[in-house]
Amino acid sequence: MTKYYGGIDLGGTFIKAGLLSENGDIIHNFAFPSRVEQGIPALKESLRVVARKLVEESELRGAALAGIGVGSPGTIIFPDGIVTGATPNIPGWVGTNISGIFSDFPFPVVADNDANCMGLAEATFGAGKGTKNGFYLTLGTGVGGAMFVNGAIVRGASFCAGEFGHMVLVYNGDTCKTGRKGCLEQYVAAGALCRSAMQLAGKYPDSALSSQPGELDVVDIFDAFKRGDQAAVEAVSANADMVGVAIGSVVNLLNPEIVVIGGGMSQAGEKYIGLIRKSVFSFAFESTTSILKVEAAKFGNDAGWIGAACLNIGSRPLP
Amino acid sequence: MTKYYGGIDLGGTFIKAGLLSENGDIIHNFAFPSRVEQGIPALKESLRVVARKLVEESELRGAALAGIGVGSPGTIIFPDGIVTGATPNIPGWVGTNISGIFSDFPFPVVADNDANCMGLAEATFGAGKGTKNGFYLTLGTGVGGAMFVNGAIVRGASFCAGEFGHMVLVYNGDTCKTGRKGCLEQYVAAGALCRSAMQLAGKYPDSALSSQPGELDVVDIFDAFKRGDQAAVEAVSANADMVGVAIGSVVNLLNPEIVVIGGGMSQAGEKYIGLIRKSVFSFAFESTTSILKVEAAKFGNDAGWIGAACLNIGSRPLP
């Protein structure tokens, strides 16, 4: 009997979910409201509805559901899915046993951190397929990361690894939302790009960004960047240079064979990725870049549930 | 028959070597001139003399030599010991097959990078004993590092991992000897501490460092620091704060359970390590520091050969 693997990506607004074949083919996927604002019991029921739907969709196709993986924000003890670290988007979530929500389902349900799931999707079936040492980062509202070393995901000693956005970029620099000084996230996340583009728009009155009504968002900025708008080009180039130096630092430390850039900002396209790549290659040692690829993520917004589904696929041994 | 494990630590001036029991007891150790200035053939012969001496010292004690490990500066392909990356201290070393130097010896000879060996010594029998996820750094003329993740050493995709000294501390900051801007090493290595102490000595005419004849070295500075000399206290405190932020960044990324600080500067003692620890704990996330220890290295100048000996000890599986 054909086996499918269910993946669930828990977000503050939507639960994204889908079925994956053992070879990484997307069989079916859908979204369902998380109902976080109705409290934890409603959220748990949403997750169970999603799981039942995954069972039904498998049965419809004459396949068995081999297991479900859940990606959740916060610090998640793998594989049981005990939530030990908070995420501001889901109040009250700490202390939950994610696997326990599904204890009456007749297959294994395991859970991991959502950034780890994104990395796992890309490492198993995406831009990092076939590699053993990779660095997977997300650039968007926040900056996060996941790593593979010697073929295994790096979860860390207390399942907190991957806080790429809170590595130092500028010693004693600007204060980030966590109170640290000089963190990468404060300089390169979506909000930082918007602030710097607004400033530059003031300097270049001819820029399309100067006449934009209201607040700028990253989509406006990247659109203007692609058209060659001077303010946008300067802002995006400075952003890519900082991102590249930070990635280059990690490359000097970990010597991966692939760096995969995901998250909302990565969808700006190859022109942006190319600027980041150039900066990585100038900061990282030649001995490391001779074998290094820097690529955009393959799975975009689907990486979370795809990676969660991968948690149960035996082809990648779980450490 | 008792088995001993030989370790050789190749330096630009001396080869340090010794015999280790399977439990990590130091049986015998010695130093021998590297004769690097006489060229590669003389260096190779020095290494063979050292290996023969390790055989003799084992036989004297009625034990068999189970194998020899060699730690070398540069980029070293493990386990064969092909030197693919240069070290300025040993001209002409690139291209050498280190294991090949000992091909007529009746036991395995493997080789690894010297910083990896230092980390391996501390992880196997030293300050990181019993841990699976550790970060091992050396502070001295240069700044280097080694890492263990999921119980295995991180060599990287092309055996170049661990360049902790060339992670960014100050984006677009001072230029380091490799031409990069803002590298940690440029701000915290021994030379940087001396430069900053000299400047502060000018500001505090009462400082013992002001009346020091000639160039300051780190031993003078740490001695004055221990006596509470104001210029030295300011210089060392600033150094420790920067080192701690850089370590804290790596802790946020890798979430190790132990950080071990070695190299010449670590011998300044607990007062210095305590300042670094304080800075690490303020920059790293609480979720990571709840389980974190920051300790001085145990083996000092012997870590290199001890770790090299560990390369052949089966108790730590080789990845």
Across the interface, which of A158, A288, A319 has its CB nearest the CB of B287?
A158
Three-state SS for chain A is: CCEEEEEEEECCCEEEEEEEECCCCEEEEEEEECCHHHCHHHHHHHHHHHHHHHHHHHHHCCCEEEEEEEEECCEEECCCCEEEECCCCCCCCCCCECHHHHCCCCCCEEEEEHHHHHHHHHHHHCCCCCCCCEEEEEECCCEEEEEEECCEECCCCCCCCCCHHHCECECCCCECCCCCECEHHHHHCHHHHHHHHHHHHHHCCCCCCCCCCCCCCHHHHHHHHHCCCHHHHHHHHHHHHHHHHHHHHHHHHHCCCEEEEECHHHHHCHHHHHHHHHHHHHHCCHHHHCCCEEEECCCHHHHHHHHHHHCCCCCCCCC
CA A182, A186, A192, A193 dihedral sign is: positive
Phi, psi of A304 (to 5 degrees): -60, -55
Q: Which residues of B touch A152 (CB under 8 A)?
A: 149-150
* Min Cα–Cα distance to chain B from A310, Å: 20
Amino acid A104: pLDDT: 96
Q: Which residues of B touch A85 (CB under 8 A)?
A: 287
* Min Cα–Cα distance to chain A from B39, Å: 25
- Inside any domain, residue A192: yes
Phi, psi of B9 (to 5 degrees): -115, 110
Question: Quick check: B315 pLDDT over 50?
Answer: no
- In this structure, the answer to whether residues B145 and B269 fall within a common structural domain is yes
Decide the pairing of beta strands B26-33 and A3-10. Answer: unpaired
Distance from C-alpha of B250 to C-alpha of B248, rounded to nearest angstrom? 5
Q: Which site among A172, A252, A287, A292 would you substitute to test the B interface, given the most B Cβ atoms closer than 10 Å to its Cβ?
A: A252
The answer to whether the CB of A175 falls within 8 A of the CB of A300 is no
Band the pLDDT of A211: cuts 50, 70, 90.
Answer: confident
Report pLDDT digits (tens) over B165-213. 999 999 999 999 999 999 999 999 999 999 999 999 999 999 999 988 7
Distance from C-alpha of A48 to C-alpha of A70, rounded to nearest angstrom? 11
- Inside any domain, residue B176: yes
Over residues B132-137, mean pLDDT: 98
Q: Which residues of A touch B131 (CB under 8 A)?
A: 157
Report pLDDT digits (tens) over A135-182. 999 999 999 999 999 999 999 999 999 999 999 999 999 999 999 999
Class of residue A82 by CB neighbours under 10 A (exposed 0-12, middle 13-18, buried 19+): middle
Q: Which site among A154, A168, A187, A239 would you substitute to test the B interface, given the most B Cβ atoms closer than 10 Å to its Cβ?
A: A168
Q: CB distance B253–A157 less than 8 Å?
A: no
- In this structure, the answer to whether residues A93 and A186 fall within a common structural domain is no
CATH number at B154 reads: 3.30.420.40
Q: Which residues of A touch B253 (CB under 8 A)?
A: 145, 147, 161-164, 167, 250, 253
Across the interface, which of B154, B252, B283 has its CB nearest the CB of A254?
B154
- In this structure, the answer to whether residues B145 and B40 fall within a common structural domain is no
Across the interface, which of B161, B250, B254 has its CB nearest the CB of A255?
B161
Distances B224 to A139, B113, B204, B220, B231 between C-alpha atoms, Å: 46, 34, 13, 6, 8
The answer to whether the CB of A65 falls within 8 A of the CB of A109 is no
Cα A240 to the center of its chain, rounded Å? 18
Amino acid A316: pLDDT: 43
Q: What is the mean pLDDT of chain B?
A: 95
Q: Which residues of A touch B163 (CB under 8 A)?
A: 252-253, 285, 288
Share of chain A above pLDDT 70, in %: 98
Share of chain A above pLDDT 90, in %: 92
- In this structure, the answer to whether residues A199 and A52 fall within a common structural domain is no
Q: CB distance B167–A285 less than 8 Å?
A: no
The first and second tokens of residue B237, run together, are: 């405190």
Q: Which residues of A touch B178 (CB under 8 A)?
A: 285
Q: Which residues of B touch A245 (CB under 8 A)?
A: 168, 171, 182
Across the interface, which of A84, A162, A173 has its CB nearest the CB of B253?
A162
Neighbours of B271 (CB within 10 A): 13
Looking at chain B, how many residues does it have? 319
Name the 3-class secondary structure at B248: helix
- In this structure, the answer to whether residues A163 and A54 fall within a common structural domain is no
Amino acid A14: pLDDT: 93
Q: CB distance A168–B250 less than 8 Å?
A: no
Report pLDDT digits (tens) over A58-112. 999 999 999 999 999 999 999 989 999 987 789 999 999 999 999 999 999 999 9
Across the interface, which of A150, A163, A171 has its CB nearest the CB of B285?
A163
Distance from C-alpha of B282 to C-alpha of B31, rounded to nearest angstrom? 41
| Among A279, A112, A312, A317, CA closest to A184 | A279
- In this structure, the answer to whether residues B143 and B261 fall within a common structural domain is yes
| Among B26, B255, B47, CA closest to B125 | B26
Distances A210 to A198, A274, A314 between C-alpha atoms, Å: 8, 26, 53
- In this structure, the answer to whether residues A72 and A190 fall within a common structural domain is no
- Inside any domain, residue A318: no
- Inside any domain, residue A32: yes
Neighbours of B152 (CB within 10 A): 18
- In this structure, the answer to whether residues B47 and B192 fall within a common structural domain is no
Q: CB distance B168–A248 less than 8 Å?
A: yes
Write the single-letter amino acid at B59.
E
| Among A137, A160, A15, CA closest to A76 | A160
- In this structure, the answer to whether residues B111 and B182 fall within a common structural domain is no
Q: CB distance B180–A287 less than 8 Å?
A: no
The answer to whether the CB of B186 falls within 8 A of the CB of B173 is yes
- In this structure, the answer to whether residues B106 and B145 fall within a common structural domain is no
Q: What is the ipTM of this complex?
A: 0.95
Over residues B32-48, mean pLDDT: 95
- In this structure, the answer to whether residues A190 and A101 fall within a common structural domain is no
- B239 to chain A: nearest residue by CA? A171
- Inside any domain, residue B315: no
Question: Quick check: B38 pLDDT over 50?
Answer: yes
Q: Print the domain residue range for A87.
A: 3-124+302-310
Q: Which residues of B touch A283 (CB under 8 A)?
A: 168, 180
Q: B14-24: string of b/e by CB count within 10 Å (b at 16+)? A: bbbbbbbeeeb
- In this structure, the answer to whether residues A257 and A270 fall within a common structural domain is yes
- Inside any domain, residue B319: no
Question: Quick check: B241 pLDDT over 70?
Answer: yes
- Inside any domain, residue B218: yes
Q: CB distance B157–A246 less than 8 Å?
A: no
Domain count for chain B = 2
Across the interface, which of A154, A160, A288 has its CB nearest the CB of B287?
A160
Q: CB distance A171–B245 less than 8 Å?
A: yes
- Inside any domain, residue B316: no
H or E element that contains B72:
strand B64-72
Q: Which site among B78, B94, B133, B171 would you substitute to test the A interface, given the most A Cβ atoms closer than 10 Å to its Cβ?
A: B171
Amino acid A319: pLDDT: 41
- A249 to chain B: nearest residue by CA? B167
Q: Which residues of B touch A180 (CB under 8 A)?
A: 283
